Amino acid sequence: MTNTNGTRKVEGYLKKLKTWKEESTKLREIILDCELTEDMKWMHPCYMLNGKNIVVIHGFKEYVAVLFFKGALLKDTHGILVQQTENVQAARQIRFTNMEQIVEQEDILKAYIQEAIEVEQAGLQVEMKKTAEYTIPEELQQQFDENPAFQAAFEDLTPGRQRAYLYYFSQPKQSKTKVSRIEKYMQPILEGKGLND
């Protein structure tokens, strides 16, 4: 299955790459060997099966990675999948810092891609944490108690926005920092905006 337009876009992207050019090209070759269709999504080469995202090649400062969209469902028999941050629920990466690692792990990488394809074909979904499973910081609860309109506005936000705020408000160790974060975002929440809107 080839998507000539997607292939052209990916080739153009690889030509312009300043870092991880050889490594990204090698990763692309390995992934294409697994009969996936390629295109550019989120400004990175993305590989799909019947329009469903399977993996993306991502270059970072310290490493180049293959990111599996449903990596949390893979068995990870070699213990090489990395969860970027504790907030990332579904995706997992395999990171490489040089060409040798990619060459050495080519068969493993193909096995993981094959498993990711099987996960997609089986229609498996990552069970996302519900907003209710996130704890509401005391400081936020206090604001809710004092201001029912604020609580109602918060509850009207999409689950993703609620989770982003809960995580952001819970991060600081000090109560006063939590309070200042909550106060700073009260107006955007009342306006139905997310953390990054």
Average pLDDT over the chain, rounded to an integer = 92
* 114 shares a domain with 48: yes
Q: Give the number of other CB atoms < 10 A from CB of residue 140.
A: 21
pLDDT the model gives residue 134: 74
pLDDT the model gives residue 55: 97
Instruction: Answer whether residue 195 is part of any domain.
Output: no
Report whether 118 contacts 42 (CB < 8 A).
no
Question: What CA–CA distance (Å, rounded) separates 44 from 22?
Answer: 15
Asked if the model's pLDDT at residue 1 lies above 60, the reply is: no
Tell me what percent of the residues of the chain surpass a pLDDT of 90: 73
* 170 shares a domain with 147: yes
Asked if the model's pLDDT at residue 102 lies above 70, the reply is: yes
* 151 shares a domain with 80: no
Report whether 46 contacts 119 (CB < 8 A).
no
* 106 shares a domain with 29: yes
User: Among candidates 23, 21, 36, which has minimal Cα distance to 103?
Assistant: 23
Instruction: Answer whether residue 126 is part of any domain.
Output: no
Structural domain span for residue 166: 131-190
Total domain count, the chain: 2
Instruction: Answer whether residue 177 is part of any domain.
Output: yes
What pTM was estimated for this model as a whole?
0.69
* 147 shares a domain with 56: no
